[in-house]
Structure 1
Amino acid sequence: MESNAPTSTSTTPASAKAWIEFSEFLKLSGLEEQKVLEMIENGLITSKEEDGRRLIEAESSSNALVQRVQTGLTSAEANGSSYDPVFVERTIHTIMGLHDKVISAKDETIVAFKSENSFLKDALISMQEVYDDDKKTIEVMREELSHAREELEFMKRKYRLMWGKVADLGNAKG
């Protein structure tokens, strides 16, 4: 069964996750493909399909590897046997590699967020400048409207006086 969506319930934002290609994960972990597919099906490792490629989420996969090694070490201690030092070294190297990828992805995310914040800040400043310009334009238009109203009132009074004199002249002749 192939998973198109991450199966993890982690609280880490999706943008902050480090995704590595399935083949790269197989090389890093040294695990068999079938074992990794089983871990994906069991929800131990988060995966997704993107552009026809299967991607593995680095943090969940490193956690799964750590749990696997811890379980193996515990059972080896109980049985009185030990792991091959090469296996332990390779597992530690794999976990460190995955950890580096997670840190790198988080650093990239921080840089992206800073860039986005800078862009949003510039956009807000620009919008504030446009708002201030619009405010000034509205104030000028209000002043012009007020002046036009005063002029209209003056003209109304002038015409009333003029028509009032004409009416008075007409009444005086009559």
Structure 2
Amino acid sequence: MDTWLEIEEFCRVTNLSRERVEEMAKEGTLRSKTQEGKTLIEASSGANAVISKVETSVISAASAPLDTTFVEKTIGTILSLHEKVLEAKDESIGSLKGENQFLKEALFSMQDVYDEDKKTIQALREQLKIAQEEIEFMRRKYKLMWGKVADLSPKGAGEGKE
């Protein structure tokens, strides 16, 4: 997962000038993009660029002693970038947990609706069965009383066929 920082924030974290960061982005050392008129720098590419810059400096100055402030700034930069990445990951995890909780609640709600619909369907089936039994009872009663059976189909309704 990529973490993008605004160029000003990246400059502040890395203690590099804006011109140097823009130059590194043009060289391809840093991954950058422009979004909503703002230049964004990808944090992990920045960490890799700073680390490779330190490695180059260490190799070229192998015999010369390193400036302690430079090393401290580099380590501070790496730690700051690492903290930003961790914060972004924590934020992503939090949003995923919230989304999962929402989906879980929606699923429980759908299960409740399904159970209620199932009960309603069962009640309607019972009512239909009772109504059919009453109709059959009325047919037998009518036949006994009048000797006829009522045809309840639409084409024969009201004709009273035997």
When normalised by structure 2's length, the TM-score is 0.77
Aligned to 2:53, which of 55, 60, 68?
A: 68
> Does residue 49 in structure 1 map to residue 29 in structure 2?
no
Deviations 1:41-91 (A, max 9, x none): 4544333333322222222321221122123222322xx334422222111
Where does the alignment leave 5 or more consecutive residues of structure 2 unmatched?
A: 150-162
Match of 2:13 in 1: 28
8 A contact 1:46–1:60 mirrored in 2: yes
> In structure 2, what is the Cα distance between the partners aligned to 1:63 and 1:156?
90
Given the superposition, is the C-alpha separation of residues 18 and 165 from structure 1 closer, same or farther in structure 2, using an over 3 Å criterion? closer
8 A contact 1:73–1:82 mirrored in 2: no
> In structure 1, what is the Cα distance between the partners aligned to 2:143 and 2:60?
109
Match of 1:18 in 2: 3
Matched residue of 1:81: which SS? coil
How far 1:151 moved relative to its partner? 2.0
Count matched residues: 149
> In structure 1, what is the Cα distance between the partners aligned to 2:15 and 2:75?
12
When normalised by structure 1's length, the TM-score is 0.72
Given the superposition, is the C-alpha separation of residues 134 and 46 from structure 1 closer, same or farther in structure 2, using an over 3 Å criterion? farther
Deviations 1:114-161 (A, max 9, x none): 222222211111111111111111111111122222222223333344
Root-mean-square deviation over aligned CA pairs: 2.4
> In structure 2, what is the Cα distance between the partners aligned to 1:20 and 1:33?
13
* Larger RCO (alpha carbons 8 Å, 6+ apart): 1
Q: Which amino acid in the other structure matches residue 49 of structure 2?
A: A
How far 1:102 moved relative to its partner? 0.9
> In structure 2, what is the Cα distance between the partners aligned to 1:101 and 1:31?
17
Q: How does 1:81-96 map to 2 (within 5 A)?
A: 81-96=64-79
Where does the alignment leave 5 or more consecutive residues of structure 1 unmatched?
A: 1-11, 167-174
Match of 2:98 in 1: 115
8 A contact 1:20–1:56 mirrored in 2: yes
Given the superposition, is the C-alpha separation of residues 139 and 43 from structure 1 closer, same or farther in structure 2, using an over 3 Å criterion? farther
